[in-house]
Amino acid sequence: MVVDRVINIIISLMELFEAEIALWQENLYRLAYAVVLLLVGGLMLLIAAGFLLGAIYMILQIWLSPGLAALTSSLAALLIGGVCLWRARQLVKNA
Q: How much is the pLDDT for 95?
A: 65
B/e letters for 60-70, b = 16+ CB within 10 Å, e = fewer, are: beeeeeeeebb
Range of the domain at 65: 2-94
Read off the pTM: 0.61
CA distance 73 to 47: 16
The number of helices, as runs of H, and strands, as runs of E, in the chain is: 2, 0
Task: Give the chain's largest Cα–Cα span.
Answer: 92
Quote the number of domains for the chain: 1
Output the tens digit of pLDDT for each of the chain's 95 residues.
777 787 888 888 888 888 888 888 888 888 888 889 989 998 998 899 889 989 999 998 999 898 898 899 889 889 988 888 888 888 888 76
